[in-house]
Structure 1
Amino acid sequence: MYYIRSVIVCLALQALYVCVHGNGDIIDLTYTFDENTLFFPGHEGFVQEILQRGPYGPLWLESNHIETGEHTGTHMDAPAHLREGELRKGQLRIEVLPVSHLVGPGVKVDISSKATIDPDAQVEINDLMAWEEENGRIPDGAIVMMFSGWGKFYPNRTAYFGSDRNDSYTDENNVSIVHFPGFSTPAAEWLVENRNIVGVGVDTASLDFGQSTNFSSHVVFFEQNIFGLENVANLDKMPTTGSTIYALPMKIKDGSGAPVRIIAIVDDDVINGVSATACNYFLTCFAFFIVFLYKMLF
């Protein structure tokens, strides 16, 4: 009898605790930088040299030297990356991006179904319209993420790029040899003309799909000082809506890009895409039921 009472009390307390404290999760959207870190063909990879790892007088000391390209691994493209630069054209470099733009509502547009069939699939206007029909208008200040499911291939270069070459993404005829999803140019234009977003991201190596050689979606976004996030990790864990993204790049003077740590914090009012208000209402009712049952039995 004592055991049954204890179990009932514990269940009630647990339900009430969840109601009070919420269930917000923190999702890491960043790949680890190491010898397996991927980079766009023709760019530079990540190299780490151990300088010290051991006793240092009375202390233990670890110190490393790293070398990396700006556009390696999980990174941010500054708008100046494919534009003439802030002094002449107004396109921003990394260190002058407004800090307020580095935090925003997370929007995940899922094109994984068609990407499974077509490695050159793109986010199209109808994908954005379908998202809004289901979830409401894309909020101001949003960071819009394309989820293609391509993270399942990382860090296998051949599967991720559709090519194992790391020196060039085109052949002798300037035809792209890489394949992966991205944003279509019409979708990019629709976003900048109709919605007030600050950034876009992809779980692939480029905002443009792999077969692009003019990177027109990049240009459309960058002309409006909208930054890009590439090689974003764990987008399968990010909810479609109801999260806040924090994308904090290394602050490099005159940087065209930078390694970035990205996290998504799932809002307390959304838990796995379900309203936390509804969840908490259920848990509250459940707690009262447990208390009622306790009184009836004992």
Structure 2
Amino acid sequence: MSHGLTFTRLADLSHPIGAGMPRWPGDPPVTFLEMACREEDGYDLRAFAMGEHSGTHVNAPGSFLADGADVRAAAPWPLLLPLAVLDLRTRAAADPGTRCAPDDVLAWEAANGRVPRGCLFVCNTGWHRLWNEPERFMGIQWGALRAGPGTAPPMRFPSFTPDAVHLLVHARGARGIGIDTHGVDAPDDGEFLCNRMALAAGAVVVECLAALDGLPAAGAHVLLAPLPLRGGTGAPVMVTAFIP
């Protein structure tokens, strides 16, 4: 229990960090380097490196906005929020480019009541189940590649629309948005409008969420605890759901 919160079980909504996991094209790979071993040093020790926007992560305002805060100043971490989950799995399976629109938020409200003020509003697209298939997770479309060698193929995966983000963070007062794909923005949106809108409004953005299938649409809470990276443009985050 915490802050009067009661729950029957916990769920870890963060993917494990490991070499070969999905990453945005051009982002650094996850690497591990042995620095000490028991046989020679009496203990094992590895160094590791990864991108700040890889794995289950939060984005910092400073990544997208001039004079935006770094990840440590972006929120009073750890952040405990009500959790709202929109199920887009069926539609995403039929259309990998589907996007959460205002009508989806209104349909969620028709079934569950008004979006809780201060919540983390999350889309479950089913993409978290593709985590061990990086190219499928990123929606890489080799067949659509028309340019010459060295050109990155286009990607397609579910995301939010800017109108839905505006409804959530401005009209409903959501404290954050999240998704189980590699971006709240559609991969062809080079302006990252959903990220920019949410972060400018003081909301948090969580991407690459895991294990969303067992969560209720409403009633759970979530604790967000990112690595406190000085100057971080984002950071890997532990996401723990408290399920009633």
Q: TM-score, normalised by structure 1?
A: 0.73
Q: Is the 8 A contact 1:176 1:212 kept in 2?
A: no
CA distance in structure 1 between the partners assigned to 2:161 and 2:153 by the alignment:
16
Q: Is the 8 A contact 1:123 1:146 kept in 2?
A: yes
- What's the counterpart of residue 170 of structure 2? 193
Q: Does 1:208 align with 2:208?
A: no
Q: Secondary structure at the match of 1:61?
A: coil
Runs of 4+ in structure 1 over 6 Å off:
169-172
Question: Which residue, out of 207, 210, 223, partners 1:230?
Answer: 207
Q: Secondary structure at the match of 1:235?
A: coil
Matching residue's letter, 2:140: S
Report the CA distance shift for 1:164/1:31 in structure 2 as closer, same or farther (over 3 A). farther
Report the CA distance shift for 1:101/1:134 in structure 2 as closer, same or farther (over 3 A). farther
Q: Does 1:83 align with 2:65?
A: yes
Q: How much has 1:222 moved relative to structure 2? A: 1.4
Alignment of 1:1-298 (within 5 A): 24-55=8-39, 61-85=43-67, 91-99=68-76, 102-163=79-140, 177-267=154-244
Matching residue's letter, 1:25: R
Q: When you count helix as a share of all residues, which structure comes out higher?
A: 1
Q: Is the 8 A contact 1:107 1:240 kept in 2?
A: yes
Matching residue's letter, 2:82: P
Report the CA distance shift for 1:46/1:265 in structure 2 as closer, same or farther (over 3 A). same
If you compute each CA radius of gyration, which structure gives the higher value, 1 or 2? 1
Which structure 1 residue ranges, 5 or more long, are not aligned? Answer: 1-21, 86-90, 268-298
RMSD, matched Cα = 2.4
- What's the counterpart of residue 8 of structure 1? none
Q: What is the identity percentage for the equivalent residue pairs of Structure 1 and Structure 2?
A: 24
What do residues 241-281 of structure 1 show as CA deviations (whole Å, max 9, x unaligned)? 111111111111111101111110113xxxxxxxxxxxxxx
Q: Is the 8 A contact 1:176 1:210 kept in 2?
A: no
CA distance in structure 2 between the partners assigned to 1:73 and 1:146 by the alignment:
17
Q: Is the 8 A contact 1:95 1:253 kept in 2?
A: yes
Q: TM-score, normalised by structure 2?
A: 0.88
Report the CA distance shift for 1:171/1:141 in structure 2 as closer, same or farther (over 3 A). farther
